A and B are shown apart, each in its own frame.
Chain A
Amino acid sequence: MSSCLTGFAQTEEKSADSVKVRPSYKPTGVRFGSDVISIIRSSSDKTFDGWEFNADADFDRYYGTLDVGYWARDYVAPDGTYSNNGTYFRIGADANFLKKDPDKNMFFFGLRYGHSRFSENLTVIRDDADFGNVSIKLINSHIPAGWFEMTTGLKVKMWKFFWLGCTARLKFGLSTGEKGDLKPSDVPGFGRTDKQSVWGFNYQILFRIPIKKAPSIPLEK
């Protein structure tokens, strides 16, 4: 009895009114899931094909995150065609501001670094008013792109291991590594390149695999 009380005293600081638990940064679980928006767009939007897998692991109220995905675009214009395809990943961290939620539901803010490698090609056949017949075929092959993101969103436990999440992300600081005459117009994972910053949304279905039981938060006296 006295040794239990002694052991309990090693991880707690007693004060007159409350008991504080020292944070443990060992992961208690890993979540895997997929972005629903990409799946729905692939079936409803003829110009888009893609998927995205998401994963995160908790370190107390902080989460390491990894997203991996694939995008492809296919457009037909009055005077030509454009297509691209490539893979991307995002790596980053979130901070959960629902610190005392026993289920570890999240309202978070986070940062990401995104990277893509993609190919694209453009074909133009048109009549120019001054220069007559214009026929252009340009290709970018396996070029890199990188960008940064600020994220916010929710991840909420629905039932046992089943979670739902939504993430809003502000993407900025895009750099692309093209060397030829074709300027990228759409980067997988980032989107259109004509703006300095771009908003994106993900809607995730997630499954959490517990690794370790989270330390219980004692009741306040």
Chain B
Amino acid sequence: MKKLSWFVIASFVAFSCLDQPDCFQLNNDTILVNFKVIGFGSDILTFMRINFSGSDKIIAGATASSIALPLNPIDKHIDYTIVTAAGDSIIRLDYERQVQFVSSDCGERYIYSHLNVPESSFDSVNVVNGTPTTTPSSNIDIFRCGRTNLMGITFATAVDIKTVMADDSLVLQNASSEAATFYVLPLNVKNDSTSFKIEHADGTVKNLIVTYVNTKKVFAERCGVQNILDELFIVSSDYTTVTRSNAKCQDLPVSNFAITP
């Protein structure tokens, strides 16, 4: 009888520990795409919409440095079309997709892996992590060739600039007549200096001469030979004060000089 009682107790333990199905994971069906500039860092892309194959849905326009995109549960590939003011860019993804039953309550889950990019119209694409995670993390970096000659100037107070001439070429025309504190002006990559003639909305014209060290570099074959402009220096200015805050041109542009009008 004593032996039998051990087994009665053991049976309660055994039956109480029977496997109880549970929802155990979400799908990893979303990838995170980052926009970057070759040779520099993060980029900010303004797009009007993103279409993707196999769906009538679109991703609404936005300005962002990264975006989450869905993967198709039916096919093992998907095409994304990113529509910007400059035109359409396409990226095609291939991947492995497995399906696994979870439970009667949860149904099935989709397991994606082995992301790769067989085709793209971007300057460069890199697969950072070929296996998406259940909460989106970086999977793909999309690169564009950098614009290496952009100088940023910050005014202490907002100014309304009408036009800017650089070495006698019109480089900026402000049609909106809105005052701003930050302006981006292109430097001449053919020379080691650029002369700016800045016409303000009140009719005043200020001159600014910038010198720099001009070095050629190849960041990527697709971008070709590019000019790296460093050691920016204001040799002549009609403004009250000019202070250098960053000696090198960047993309995305940063403030290189702080100006008191």
Interface size, B (range): 35 or more
Nearest CB in chain B to that of A186: its residue: B101
Stretch at the interface among B2-10, B181-189, B199-207, B234-242: B2-10
Q: Are A185 and B101 in contact (CB under 8 A)?
A: yes
**Residue in A128, A132, A194 whose CB lies within 8 Å of B25:** A194
B residues 31-68 near A (Cβ < 8 Å) are 52, 54-57
Residues on A with C-beta less than 8 A from B225 are: none
**Shortest CB distance B192–A (Å):** 53
Residues on B with C-beta less than 8 A from A186 are: 101
Q: Are B100 and A185 in contact (CB under 8 A)?
A: yes
**Residue in A77, A80, A154, A194 whose CB lies within 8 Å of B24:** A194
**How many A residues, CB 8 Å from partner?**
41
Count of A-B residue pairs with CB < 8 Å: 98
Residues on A with C-beta less than 8 A from B74 are: 131, 134, 136
Chain A interface helix/strand/loop/mixed:
strand
- 18 A-B pairs besides A75-B104, A77-B105, A183-B111 with CB distance below 8 A are A37-B14, A37-B15, A75-B101, A76-B104, A77-B101, A79-B107, A124-B99, A130-B52, A130-B57, A130-B70, A136-B73, A154-B6, A154-B10, A156-B6, A158-B4, A194-B24, A194-B102, A203-B10
Q: Which positions in A face B, CB cutoff 8 Å?
A: 37, 41, 47, 75-80, 82, 122, 124, 126, 128, 130-132, 134, 136, 138, 154, 156-158, 164, 166, 181-186, 191-192, 194, 198-203
Q: Can you report 20 A-B residue pairs in the complex whose CB atoms are below 8 A from each other?
A: A77-B101, A77-B103, A77-B106, A79-B108, A124-B99, A124-B108, A128-B73, A130-B52, A130-B70, A136-B73, A157-B3, A158-B4, A164-B3, A166-B10, A182-B98, A183-B111, A184-B100, A185-B102, A199-B17, A201-B18
